[in-house]
Amino acid sequence: MTEQLKAAPPHLIPDSAPFTAEQRAWLNGFFAGLLGAGGTPVAAADVLPPAASDEDFPWHDAALTLDERMKLADGRPIARRLMAAMAQLDCGQCGYLCQTYAEALAAGAETSPARCVPGGRETTRTLKALLAEAPAPAAAASAKAPAKTPQRATVPARLLSREILSKPGSQKEVRHIALAFADGALAYEVGDSLGVVAENCPDLVTAIVARLGGGEARVPCPDGVDRPLAEALRAHLDIARPSDDAIALFRDRALYPEDRAKLDSLLDGTAGDDLAEIDLHDLLTLFSTDSIAPAALAERLLPLQPRLYSISSSPQAHRGEVHLTVSAVRWERRGRARKGVASTFLADRALLNAPVQIYAQTSHGFHLAPDEAPIVMIGPGTGIAPFRAFLAEREARAARGRNWLFFGDQRRATDYLYEDEIEGFRARGTLTRLDLAFSRDQLRKIYVQDRMRESAAELWSWLQDGAYVYVCGDAKRMARDVHRALIDIAAELGRMPLHEAEQWLAAFGREGRYRRDVY
C-alpha cells in the first residue's frame, strides 16, 4: 500500500486550487518533473529537456503517424521522445497532457506506460521500449508497481435524450446526446470537450465472470478499493484492451505451447490479424489455461478511462445542458458483435434521466475566434459537433463575423447530420456560406477538401480577410488531406512554391488561426 502511494502519479496541486483541470494537469506534471516519486529530488536535467520558451514540438500533431512523430523527435531528450509516442490529442483522458505525461514518465514520477487510450498498444509498446533504454530515473521507475489512476473531479449529469441523427438506411448510427446538469455545476466554452465516465456492457461482464469463475470474489480496483468482481469489471477495469501484464498472466498459465506462442506474439507485437483487437473475453475463450485468480487478473488490468467528445452545444444557447454528437462504434470480430464502450453506453445502456458522470476538458487552442473575425469550419461526420456549437454561440451573441461551413458525410438522404438546424442557420444568415460533400452520392467520392479546392479563390480571399480555419473530425485521413488542400490552395492563390506554402501554413498555425480538434 505504501509502495502504491509512493508510486502514485503526481497530484501535487490540490483539486481546490484555483486552476482549471488543464492548468492543474500541467502544474502537476511540471512539479513531478522537478520531484521524483515520493518527493525525492532527481537529476531532472538528465531526463527533462532544458526549459526554452521557443522550443518547438513538431511531432505534436495528431494527424502524423507514430513513425513520423518518432522521426521528428529523434535526437531530442527522452522526455520529448516519450511525448512523441503519445497520440498528441492532449485529450486529458490519462489525467495529463501529452507533454506532462511524458515528463512525469521521464522523471520517474509516473510509472504506467499504458495510460494513453487513443495511442493504444502501439504507444504503450513504444513508451516501454524508450523507458527500457532510458537513463535512470526513468528506467528505474518503470520497474515499479503501476501508479494509481489520477482522480478527476466529475459532476453528475442527467441523460435527457439520445435522438438518432442518422436516417433509416444509413450505414452509421450517429446520435445527438443531451445531458442536463445542475445550475453552475459545469462550466464550459464552445470548443471544449466533455469527458464521459462510461461503464462496460453488463452482458459482456456476465460472460467474463462465467468463464473466469470466482463470481463471489472481491478484487482490487485501480482507486485502491476492493469491490465485487462483476462491479469491478463493469465500472472500473478496462476489459476491452487487456494490458500486457494481463496477457502475460494468461501466457504463464497457458496449458499448450501453441497458445503460449500466440500469447507471446501478442506481447511482442508480432500477432497476426486473427488476434487483432483481442479483449478479455477472447483471452478467456481462445486460450486454455490453469485457473486464474480474479484478484490476480484484476490487479493487472488497466483502469477503465473516460472518453472525450467534442461538445456540440453552446452555454449561451443551451443553458444548463451539454450536447454531444456521438457515432456508435459497433463491429464484428471472431463471430462476436463488439461494441465501443462509451459510445454504446450513451447510445444503449445509460438510462434516460439517470445520472452520468461527466467533466469538461478545456480545449487547447480550439476556442471561438473574436466575434468580428470570419471563420471557416471544416467538419465532416461527427466533426460537425463543435461547429453546431460555434454557430449557436455566434447567433446567441449576435456576432458579426462571417461563418463558412464545409460538412460532408456518406449520403445526403441519410447522413446530413443536423440538416434542419444547418439549413436554419443558413436561412437566418448566420451561416454565410455552406458547402456540402456527400461522398457516396455519386460514383466518384467527393470530400470536403474537394469542395475547398473548387472554391479556392474565395477561400483564399477569406483568409486574406483574417479568417480563422477550424478542422474537426478524423485525424488520420481527413485532417491530413485537408491540410494538404490548404497548402495547395496557398501555393496556387498565393503564387508561392510548395515549400513556402508549407511554411505559410505553419506560420498561420503559430498565429493561432489554424485550429484543429482531430481524433
Ligand X SMILES: Cc1cc2nc3c(=O)[nH]c(=O)nc-3n(C[C@H](O)[C@H](O)[C@H](O)COP(=O)(O)OP(=O)(O)OC[C@H]3O[C@@H](n4cnc5c(N)ncnc54)[C@H](O)[C@@H]3O)c2cc1C
Ligand Y SMILES: NC(=O)c1ccc[n+]([C@@H]2O[C@H](COP(=O)([O-])OP(=O)(O)OC[C@H]3O[C@@H](n4cnc5c(N)ncnc54)[C@H](OP(=O)(O)O)[C@@H]3O)[C@@H](O)[C@H]2O)c1
Binding track over 239-268 against ligand X, x by CB under 6 A: -x----------------------------
* Using rule CB under 6 A, residue 118 touches ligand Y: no
Q: State how far the Cα of 212 lies from the Cα of 5, in Å rounded to an integer.
A: 30
Task: Using the minimum distance from each CB to ligand Y, give the nearer residue, 445 or 510.
Answer: 445
- The stretch near ligand Y (CB under 6 A) out of 66-74, 100-108, 198-206, 405-413 is 405-413
How far apart CA 187 and CA 316 sit, in angstroms, is: 11
Alpha-carbon gap, residue 138 to 438, rounded angstroms: 49
Query: 97: Cβ–Cβ under 8 A, 6 or more apart, which residues?
Result: 22, 25, 26, 29, 90, 364
Pick from 95, 150, 303, 340: which binds ligand X (CB under 6 A)?
340
Q: Which stretch binds ligand Y (CB under 6 A): 255-263, 266-274, 474-482, 487-495?
A: 474-482
Question: Hey, which residues between 295 and 334 contact ligand Y (CB under 6 A)?
Answer: 327
Which is nearer to ligand Y, 78 or 448 (by Cβ)? 448
- CB-neighbour burial class of residue 438 (10 A; exposed 0-12, middle 13-18, buried 19+): buried
Count Cα neighbours of 117 within 13 Å in the Cβ-side half-sphere: 22
477 binds ligand Y (CB under 6 A): yes
Can the peptide bond before residue 497 be classed as cis, meaning omega within 30 degrees of 0?
no
Shortest distance (Å) from residue 307 CB to ligand X? 4
Residue 341 interaction partner, one of ligand X, ligand Y, none, beta carbon < 5-8 Å per kind: ligand X
Q: What is the DSSP letter of 96?
A: S
CB of 270 to ligand Y, least distance (A): 22
DSSP secondary structure letter of residue 445 = -
Q: Give bridge partners of residue 193 from the DSSP assignment.
A: 310, 361
Interaction of residue 292 with ligand X, rule CB under 6 A? no
Can you state the angle between helices 98-107 and 21-34, rounded to 10 degrees? Answer: 20
Binding-residue pattern over the window 72 to 111 for ligand X, x denoting contact by CB under 6 A: -----------------x-x--------------------
CA distance 323 to 388: 10
Asked whether position 278 contacts ligand X by CB under 6 A, the answer is no
Name the CA radius of gyration of the chain, rounded: 24
Q: Please count the other Cβ atoms lying within 10 Å of the Cβ belonging to residue 102.
A: 31
Of the candidates 33, 95, 108, 118, which one interacts with ligand X according to CB under 6 A? 118
Cell of 152: 478527476
Point out which residues bind ligand Y (CB under 6 A). Answer: 172, 327, 380-383, 408-410, 439-440, 445, 447-449, 473-474, 477-478, 481, 519
Point out which residues bind ligand X (CB under 6 A). Answer: 89, 91, 118, 193, 240, 277, 307-310, 325-327, 329, 331, 340-343, 382, 385, 517, 519
